[in-house]
Chain A
Amino acid sequence: MSIIETHNLTKKFDKLVAVDKLNLSVNEGEIFGLLGPNGAGKTTTLSMLATLLPPTEGHATVNGFDVKKNSSEVRHCIGFVFQDPSSDDLLTGRENLYLHALMYGVDMKNINKRMDELLELVDLKDRQHERMKKYSGGMRRRLELARGLLHNPKVLFLDEPTLGLDPQTRQHLWTYIKKLSQEKKITIIITTHYMEEADMLCDRIAIIDHGKIAAMDTPEKLKSKLGGDVVRLKVEKPNLKALKSLKFVSSVKQTDGLLTMTVNDSGKHLQEILKKVGSVESVETRKPTLNDVFLHYTGSEIRDEGGEGGYMEHMMASRNR
Chain B
Amino acid sequence: MGELNGLYALWYREAKVFTREISRMIGSLVQPLMWLVIFGTGLGSALGGNFLGTGGSYQTYIFPGILAMTVLFGSLFFGLYIIMDKRVDFLKEVLVAPLSRTTIFFGKVLGGSTDGVIQIAILMLLGALFFGIHFTFYSLVLSIIIVLILMVSIISLGLTFGAIMSSPEGFGLVITFVIFPLFFLSGALFPVKSLPSWLFAFVAINPVSYAVDALRSTILGIPSSFGLALDFAVLIGFAVAMVIIGTEAFKRMKI
Smallest CB–CB gap between B215 and chain A, Å? 32
> In the complex, what distance in Å separates the CA atom of A298 from the CA atom of B202?
63
Q: Does B180 contact A (CB under 8 A)?
A: no
Q: Does B6 contact A (CB under 8 A)?
A: yes
Would A90 and B17 count as touching, CB distance under 8 A? Answer: yes
Contact of B96 among A52, A98, A102 (CB under 8 A): A52
Given A104-B98, A105-B98; A90-B16 close (CB under 8 Å): yes
Would B89 and A103 count as touching, CB distance under 8 A? Answer: no
Q: Does B93 contact A (CB under 8 A)?
A: yes
Q: Does B20 contact A (CB under 8 A)?
A: yes
What B residues does A98 contact at CB under 8 A? Answer: 12
Would A78 and B9 count as touching, CB distance under 8 A? Answer: no
> In the complex, what distance in Å separates the CA atom of A91 from the CA atom of B20?
9
Smallest CB–CB gap between A110 and chain B, Å? 15
Q: Does A166 contact B (CB under 8 A)?
A: no
Q: Does A85 contact B (CB under 8 A)?
A: yes
Which residue of B has the minimal Cβ distance to A74?
A: B98
Smallest CB–CB gap between B114 and chain A, Å? 16
Smallest CB–CB gap between B245 and chain A, Å? 23
Contact of B88 among A85, A102, A103, A108 (CB under 8 A): A85
What B residues does A304 contact at CB under 8 A? Answer: none
Would B13 and A99 count as touching, CB distance under 8 A? Answer: yes
Would B97 and A91 count as touching, CB distance under 8 A? Answer: no
Which residue of B has the minimal Cβ distance to A108?
A: B5
What A residues does B95 contact at CB under 8 A? Answer: 52
A78-107 vs B, CB cutoff 8 Å, 1 = contact: the mask equals 101011111110110001001110111100
Would A82 and B12 count as touching, CB distance under 8 A? Answer: no
Smallest CB–CB gap between A100 and chain B, Å? 7
Q: Does A51 contact B (CB under 8 A)?
A: yes
Would A103 and B94 count as touching, CB distance under 8 A? Answer: yes
Q: Does B1 contact A (CB under 8 A)?
A: yes
Q: Does B92 contact A (CB under 8 A)?
A: yes
Which residue of B has the minimal Cβ distance to A50?
A: B96
Q: Does B196 contact A (CB under 8 A)?
A: no
What B residues does A95 contact at CB under 8 A? Answer: 16
> In the complex, what distance in Å separates the CA atom of A102 from the CA atom of B1?
10
Q: Does B8 contact A (CB under 8 A)?
A: yes
What A residues does B173 contact at CB under 8 A? Answer: none
Residue from the set A72, A80, A103, A108 with the largest chain B CB neighbour count within 10 Å: A103
Q: Does A76 contact B (CB under 8 A)?
A: yes
Smallest CB–CB gap between B186 and chain A, Å? 33
What A residues does B90 contact at CB under 8 A? Answer: 85-88
What A residues does B2 contact at CB under 8 A? Answer: 105
Q: Does A21 contact B (CB under 8 A)?
A: no
What B residues does A90 contact at CB under 8 A? Answer: 16-17, 20-21
Q: Does A210 contact B (CB under 8 A)?
A: no
Smallest CB–CB gap between A59 and chain B, Å? 19
Would B21 and A100 count as touching, CB distance under 8 A? Answer: no
Would B12 and A99 count as touching, CB distance under 8 A? Answer: yes
Contact of B98 among A75, A85, A86, A108 (CB under 8 A): A75
B86-115 vs A, CB cutoff 8 Å, 1 = contact: the mask equals 001110111111110000000000000000
What B residues does A84 contact at CB under 8 A? Answer: 88-89
Would A88 and B97 count as touching, CB distance under 8 A? Answer: no
Would B13 and A91 count as touching, CB distance under 8 A? Answer: yes
Q: Does B255 contact A (CB under 8 A)?
A: yes
Would A100 and B12 count as touching, CB distance under 8 A? Answer: no
> In the complex, what distance in Å separates the CA atom of A108 from the CA atom of B135?
43
Which residue of A has the minimal Cβ distance to B17?
A: A90
Residue from the set B13, B17, B21 with the largest chain A CB neighbour count within 10 Å: B13
What A residues does B92 contact at CB under 8 A? Answer: 52, 80, 82, 86
Smallest CB–CB gap between A155 and chain B, Å? 12
B1-53 residues with Cβ-Cβ distance < 8 A to A are 1-2, 5-6, 8-10, 12-13, 16-17, 20-21
Q: Which residues of B contact A (CB under 8 A)?
A: 1-2, 5-6, 8-10, 12-13, 16-17, 20-21, 88-90, 92-99, 255
Besides A86-B93, A88-B13, A99-B13, 11 other A-B contacts (C-beta < 8 A): A52-B92, A82-B89, A82-B93, A86-B92, A99-B9, A100-B97, A102-B9, A102-B12, A103-B6, A105-B2, A105-B98
Q: Which residues of A contact B (CB under 8 A)?
A: 50-52, 72, 75-76, 78, 80, 82-88, 90-91, 95, 98-100, 102-105, 108, 131
- 18 inter-chain pairs at a CB distance below 8 angstroms, sorted by A residue, are A52-B96, A52-B255, A72-B98, A75-B97, A76-B98, A83-B89, A85-B90, A88-B13, A91-B16, A95-B16, A99-B12, A102-B8, A102-B9, A103-B10, A103-B94, A105-B5, A108-B5, A131-B20
Chain A to chain B: the 5 pairs with minimum beta-carbon distance, closest first: A102-B9, A86-B89, A82-B89, A103-B97, A105-B2
